[in-house]
Chain A
Amino acid sequence: MPRTTPFHSRTSALMESMAWKEWAGYAAACNFDAHSEREYFAIRQSAGLLDVTPLYKYDVTGPDAASFLSRVWTRDITKLKPGRVVYGCMCDGDGKVLDDGTITYLGEDAFRVTSSEPWLGWYSRHSRGMDVEIEDSTDRISALALQGPCSRDILRELTDCDLDSMRFFGTAAGKIAGADGRITRTGYTGDLGYELWMHNADAERVYDALLEAGKPYNMEPIGLDALDVSRIEAGFVLQGIDYICAQRCLIEARKSTPEEAGLGWTVNLDREGWIGRDALLREREVGPKWGLVGLELDWAELEELYDQYNLPPHLAPVACRSAVPVYSSGRSQVGQVTSSTWSPTLKKYLALGQVYAQHAKVGTKLKVEYTVEFERRTVTATVVKRPFFDPERKTFTPNAQPKEGA
């Protein structure tokens, strides 16, 4: 029986679809209306407001906080500057990915870490003997994501944080609708967007203020269905779907290294002293077995396939999370698509998947299984660069200060 978040009184009043699903023990909105199309377009054309409270949150403090996090995460947190956030992943001793998330600089020797799975046990085990305090703040801190091209304009009216000079992956503490909180310029949509962190007691008033401020911009409350489409367009992997937390895997074959999960860019093998590095150094010798790829399905072929059955192309209105096999041109299975969606912005059918590394090169033509009328067929797909959709506004900062180095 999922619990509700502190925004529930507000989100449930707005919801007409009764579409809740479980997310980390909380009830989370899938969509607010019968379909999520309007919510999706809000993310891309105006702004969408999403309750992300269920994210696991840990506040890590103490003199050893940075070195502890640098040991557990792939990122060097001792180099994380004030006012910055960093994205990274976490590995087990075999170099297999456990989770991915963000680490926010809160103050001297104080950080907030987010993740999709609970890690207090893991953190405690790996912080023995270190002068660090780890608090699971998941139930104490409420969080909202405000995503979309109008998000800055909406938020500007409610905060004393200088949003116009806050760079991509920047953060600042300040007032949000009069309440003490924190803003990070982060999100899971690949668009301009912010995440807002506040005490539970302030959740409702912040939500109300945002709804009001968002009105002139046609902001919409959004649910996870719309988010899923936009995160695939942004090429972001989802733990539990595109890769599986190594600790949850019963067999080795399900586990992925950062490179195999599309997170290789968050890893610096030259840095010493972090969990998983030794194993990954060995991987570097032989190369990863898998590659995470973005795929673009050939639309004309897809349309033709439907036409053979006298049908117009039928696309699910939501992203698809059921895995399907991927074949090489020689008909042998070389991997699987794990997420796919029609992109209403790009007018393309997009997919994320894992294929053997030798098939992961951009431009490679593969075949993806596609079922029409209960018959399994294949459609040509091309490996393309991620992100699929990467608008300039995502990283553009109106009053960008000279870089202080990330």
Chain B
Amino acid sequence: MAALGSSQNPYDAIVVGGGHNGLTAAAYLARAGKKVLVLERRHLVGGAAVTEEKYPGFKYSVCSYVVSLLRPWIIRDLNLTQHGLRLVPLECSYTPQPDDAGLCRWADPDKNRREIQRLSRKDADNYPEFGKLMGKLARFAKPFIDEVAPDPTSLSPSDLWQLKKAGDRFKELGDDLAALQFKLTTMGGVDFLREFFESDQLIAPMSCSGIIGTMLGVNSPGTAYVLLHHYMGEIDGSSRAWGFPIGGTGAVSEAIASSARSFGAEIRCEAPIAKVRIAHGEATGVILENGDEIASRTVVSGCDPSLTFLRFVGEEHLPTDFATSLKRYKDRGSSGKVNLALDRFPEFKHRPGIGPHVMGDVAIAPSTDYLETAYDEAKYGTFSSRPFINVVFPSVLDPGMAPPGKHVMSCFVQYAPYDIATGPETWPEHREAFGDAVVDTLAEYMPTLKEDILHRQVLSPWDIQEEIGITEGNIFHGELGLEQLLFQRPTAGWARYKTPVRGLWLGSSGAHPGGGIMGSPGAMAVQEMLRLGAV
């Protein structure tokens, strides 16, 4: 089927979308000596991991704002440190309360214990034990995210071999932990946490990690599993929670892009594609929006599955059952982002000062009822009037993000359902009201906040779709629900980066192991391509 000879086929691969996964794929391809071209629609690379100066002197990590699961082996393979990657660990997780100092969860166990003791002596004792259990389970689960996902419905020797290895690891866990693992995959986050803790003030912020990026509540079944992802996070090779990239998340993309270029990859911005060019069921290149056609032997998509298959490929080129299951794929973005430029630091009412307590993330999650109520509103198509907000102050960790003494504040906000009652396209009309709800909520904890706002950027899921290009603005390219993970990401039978369109590969967050700044879908897609001699 060599319709195009290699002489007319200058590129071994075209990567569609210069997000961090696309760039990672390009870097791995170039590193393997392949001729690669990255095409990015916007004027800068990074996709959702971009740093932009929306207000003079103030830099926003526009969408994605922290790094947890960026694979250490990718950092090493791509020499990302030499290309400028700098990760600073977040110091703590702070959950303020409207009427008291709230709870800080620290890295130091003794400090942490003293803090939790104020709420419950029992919880203070149980906390490290819980951490140890989760650490063990994360150790069991981690190989899954660093390997191609085995398919339990397949009888191929490699799947069976992988499943046997997983089974062996499962056996090593012991009966108690295996039972716990089962609970973890079926229970709601709050219920699961209540098996260990009694303090609602402690359970509420912990349960939040189970709902991020999903259209589920903290009590919804299945949300417990995502808690585990928190314990898989590692920076510096040792298990750790979260890191902040110096220069914002755009600096991570820049580092990967710089690495890709150093291996010889070509990156072209402001080059939106219209279609993947398909001849005889095989991807042979891309067609740009301006009509230009670029030929390549393979195409790797760094875009979400819905965008890739339903728009760039087109249903007519897809097997019916594949198209059907893709249409069932849940994108449904549920979160927004508010970025603020501040004249001075907005001190917390009950924990004033710029201390270590603001050098991590701040979760506005005062109680589990608060979180569930926020979900209630979203279920029926409005944004939460009192949402869950995850705040980071990048300028406290990296003085380069704002002028001296000034600050930027990054607020991840949930829930902001894509499918708002009046229709997603009406989001622009609700955008500022949504921004007001966020600022009003925050002002209950930071009384001077409103006076100090110099600039505000509000992004609804609609805006994320329109500006960044992610379908329905889902930050993970589709929910991280168990039914859309592992061998079912994006759909059963197609979790190995290969797609029903020959020559087209999926290397985005919509592929295994999923979203967040990890880089693995991009890297593992290429490893699979190389292994199979596809490029």
Contact between B72 and A312, CB atoms less than 8 A apart? no
Stretch at the interface among A34-42, A123-131, A283-291: A34-42
A403 at the interface (CB under 8 A from B): no
User: Chain B 211-239 against A: per-residue CB contact (8 Å), 1 yes, 0 no?
Assistant: 00000000000000000000000001111
A402→B69 CA distance, assembly (Å): 47
A331 at the interface (CB under 8 A from B): no
Contact between A313 and B237, CB atoms less than 8 A apart? yes
If A150-B399, A218-B399, A345-B86 touch, whether A34 touches B108 (CB-CB below 8 Å) is: yes
Contact between B399 and A315, CB atoms less than 8 A apart? no
* From A33, A153, A310, A344, contact of B404 by CB (8 A): A153
Residues of A within 8 A of B397 (CB): 41, 45, 218
Residues of A within 8 A of B354 (CB): 215, 218
A344→B405 CA distance, assembly (Å): 26
Interface residues of A in 169-192 (CB under 8 A from B): none
* Chain A, Cβ-Cβ closest to B359: A38
A217 at the interface (CB under 8 A from B): yes
Quote the shortest CB–CB distance from A155 to chain B (angstroms): 13
Contact between B88 and A41, CB atoms less than 8 A apart? yes
A342→B237 CA distance, assembly (Å): 10
Contact between B75 and A46, CB atoms less than 8 A apart? no
B89 at the interface (CB under 8 A from A): yes
A299 at the interface (CB under 8 A from B): yes
B91 at the interface (CB under 8 A from A): yes
Residues of B within 8 A of A162 (CB): none
A45→B76 CA distance, assembly (Å): 21
Residues of A within 8 A of B396 (CB): 218
Residues of B within 8 A of A346 (CB): 81
Residues of A within 8 A of B264 (CB): none
If A37-B89, A45-B246, A216-B399 touch, whether A347 touches B108 (CB-CB below 8 Å) is: no
A44 at the interface (CB under 8 A from B): yes
Contact between B237 and A46, CB atoms less than 8 A apart? no
* Chain A, Cβ-Cβ closest to B406: A216
Contact between B76 and A299, CB atoms less than 8 A apart? yes
Residues of B within 8 A of A347 (CB): 72, 75-76, 81, 236-237
Contact between B405 and A216, CB atoms less than 8 A apart? yes
A217→B395 CA distance, assembly (Å): 9
B107 at the interface (CB under 8 A from A): yes
* From B73, B172, B356, contact of A38 by CB (8 A): B356
Quote the shortest CB–CB distance from B249 to chain A (angstroms): 16
A314 at the interface (CB under 8 A from B): yes
Contact between A217 and B399, CB atoms less than 8 A apart? yes
B99 at the interface (CB under 8 A from A): no
* From A153, A314, A315, A345, contact of B81 by CB (8 A): A345
B111 at the interface (CB under 8 A from A): yes
Quote the shortest CB–CB distance from B112 to chain A (angstroms): 10
Residues of B within 8 A of A344 (CB): 87, 89, 236
A38→B356 CA distance, assembly (Å): 9
Contact between A44 and B108, CB atoms less than 8 A apart? no
Contact between B399 and A342, CB atoms less than 8 A apart? no
Task: Tally A residues with Cβ within 8 Å of B.
Answer: 29
User: Chain A 25-51 against B: per-residue CB contact (8 Å), 1 yes, 0 no?
Assistant: 000000001110110010011100000
If A41-B88, A216-B404 touch, whether A313 touches B399 (CB-CB below 8 Å) is: no
B398 at the interface (CB under 8 A from A): yes
User: Chain B 229-268 against A: per-residue CB contact (8 Å), 1 yes, 0 no?
Assistant: 0000000111100000010000000000000000000000
Residues of A within 8 A of B108 (CB): 33-35
Interface residues of B in 129-177 (CB under 8 A from A): 135, 139, 172
Contact between B239 and A312, CB atoms less than 8 A apart? yes
Contact between B81 and A312, CB atoms less than 8 A apart? no
Residues of A within 8 A of B398 (CB): 45-46
* Chain A, Cβ-Cβ closest to B139: A312
* From B73, B88, B236, B246, contact of A342 by CB (8 A): B236
* Chain B, Cβ-Cβ closest to A17: B108
Interface residues of A in 39-93 (CB under 8 A from B): 41, 44-46
Contact between B135 and A33, CB atoms less than 8 A apart? no
* From B73, B135, B172, contact of A312 by CB (8 A): B135
A217→B398 CA distance, assembly (Å): 8
Contact between A34 and B81, CB atoms less than 8 A apart? no
Contact between A215 and B135, CB atoms less than 8 A apart? no
* Chain A, Cβ-Cβ closest to B246: A45
User: Chain A 216-227 against B: per-residue CB contact (8 Å), 1 yes, 0 no?
Assistant: 111000000000
Interface residues of A in 322-352 (CB under 8 A from B): 342, 344-348
Contact between B238 and A314, CB atoms less than 8 A apart? yes
A312→B237 CA distance, assembly (Å): 9
Contact between A315 and B88, CB atoms less than 8 A apart? no
User: Chain B 72-100 against A: per-residue CB contact (8 Å), 1 yes, 0 no?
Assistant: 11011000010000111101000000000
In this complex, which of A34, A216, A310 has the most chain B Cβ atoms within 10 angstroms of its Cβ? A216
A310→B168 CA distance, assembly (Å): 13
Residues of A within 8 A of B139 (CB): 310, 312
A164 at the interface (CB under 8 A from B): no
User: Chain B 91-127 against A: per-residue CB contact (8 Å), 1 yes, 0 no?
Assistant: 1000000000000001110110000000000000000
* Chain A, Cβ-Cβ closest to B82: A346
Residues of A within 8 A of B406 (CB): 216
A314→B108 CA distance, assembly (Å): 15
The 7 A-B residue pairs with the shortest CB-CB distance in the complex, in nearest-first order = A216-B405, A216-B404, A34-B108, A217-B399, A41-B88, A46-B399, A312-B239
10 pairs from A and B in contact (CB 8 Å cutoff): A35-B107, A38-B91, A41-B397, A45-B86, A45-B88, A218-B396, A300-B73, A310-B139, A347-B81, A348-B81
Please report A residues at the B interface, Cβ cutoff 8 Å: 33-35, 37-38, 41, 44-46, 150, 153, 215-218, 299-300, 303, 310, 312-315, 342, 344-348
A44-B86, A153-B404, A346-B81 provided; 14 other pairs, C-beta below 8 A? Answer: A34-B106, A38-B91, A38-B359, A41-B88, A45-B399, A216-B399, A216-B406, A218-B396, A218-B397, A299-B72, A314-B238, A345-B81, A347-B76, A347-B236
